[in-house]
Amino acid sequence: MTTAAQPGTAGRAQATPQAAIRNAMTVDVEDYFQVEAFARTIPRATWDSFPRRVEANTDRILEQLAGAGVCATFFTLGWVAERHPALVRRIVAGGHELASHGHGHARVATLTAEQFRQDVIRAKHLLEDIGGVKLTGYRAPTFSIGANTPWAYPILAETGHRYSSSIYPVRHDLYGAPNAPRFAHAVGDGVLWEVPMTTLRLRGPWGGQNLPISGGGYFRLLPYAVFRRGLAAFHAAEGRGGVFYTHPWEIDPGQPRIAGAGQLSRFRHYLNLGRTAPRLDRLLRDFAWGRMDEVFPELAASPGPTGALSAAA
């Protein structure tokens, strides 16, 4: 009787062998006009002039998750929370983990340390006040924490965050740290956990290359069966769960088209938008999922100077 409403059990019941390994399902809550691909076309001062679709789209994802019995982590922009407080409360009421995507979606390296501090404090206070919960997780816009922002992790720790999920160990023109550690590790002198996005380490002639299998644009680009095999191969090779991410705008083929954006940006942003929701439904049922803080229980504790990275070395 007490286990009937346990999140995630629906997914595990129809389990394939790999489904015994639980992955973190994450959603970056932002709108279609706030993405990095359109940053040069859409000045942030004009954001309020765009019709917002983030609340309706996030509600659709909440319905999909509820239908699959999955709880997820929602890295939410302060800017969105300010305008859609009821949405933030529905995320919390659904049993999901509320986490921060910062306030203004500026790439971390474009901010000074002090501007970054103000951005993450503003988002955290807003989200905690509206959601009525403490939050510990943060994801940098466009995975933009890196070697040139050494001050970012200590600031996240100072401001009460306990983990970050802001690194993608792949080669990409907009983001990526191909040589970064691929698994949860201590950062900032052991003040914080970093949980990188999931990659499949290729072997043979491609040895040493990391294939991105965390979701986002690749989830829309690759046939679903290929993506599913990639995640299953990751489970078989590593014996642990990965991190998947999506955005509310990725399930919204009806979003207004942005004029003036470059061809590559438009290709990436508009590719297969109509396929994401049904694929997400399959993904939710083909594997086992949970919140970041459930899938990676180590995030509940401070890593300390002898975190996973030094322990594994």
Q: Which 3-state string (H, E, C) describes 268-299?
A: HHHCCHHHHHHHHHHHHHHCEEECHHHHCHHH
As a whole number of Å, the end-to-end CA separation of the chain is 45
Nearer to Zn ion, 120 or 232 (CB): 120
Overall residue count recorded for the chain in this entry = 313
Q: Contact region for Zn ion (CB under 5 A) — 42-50, 51-59, 141-149, 156-164?
A: 141-149
Nearer to Zn ion, 11 or 102 (CB): 102
Q: Residue 199 forms beta bridges with which residues?
A: 212
Nearer to Zn ion, 137 or 141 (CB): 141
Q: What whole-number distance in Å separates Cα of residue 269 and Cα of residue 282?
A: 22
Residues 6+ apart with CB under 8 A from 104: 44, 77, 78, 79, 119
CB 271, min distance to Zn ion, A: 17
CB 303, min distance to Zn ion, A: 25
CB 10, min distance to Zn ion, A: 29
Nearer to Zn ion, 7 or 246 (CB): 246
Q: Contact region for Zn ion (CB under 5 A) — 60-68, 134-142, 211-219, 221-229?
A: 134-142
Asked whether position 78 contacts Zn ion by CB under 5 A, the answer is no
Q: Contact region for Zn ion (CB under 5 A) — 136-144, 231-239, 268-276, 297-305?
A: 136-144
Among 24, 25, 28, 185, which residue sits at the site for Zn ion (rule: CB under 5 A)? Answer: 28
CB 296, min distance to Zn ion, A: 20
What would the DSSP string read from start to end of 243-260? EEEE-GGGG-TTSPPPTT
Residues in the interface with Zn ion (CB under 5 A) total 3
Asked whether position 241 contacts Zn ion by CB under 5 A, the answer is no
CB 1, min distance to Zn ion, A: 40
Asked whether position 141 contacts Zn ion by CB under 5 A, the answer is yes
DSSP structural state of residue 16: -
CB 266, min distance to Zn ion, A: 18
In terms of Cβ atoms closer than 10 Å to its own Cβ (0-12, 13-18, 19+), residue 311 is exposed
In terms of Cβ atoms closer than 10 Å to its own Cβ (0-12, 13-18, 19+), residue 79 is buried
Residues that bind Zn ion (CB under 5 A): 28, 30, 141
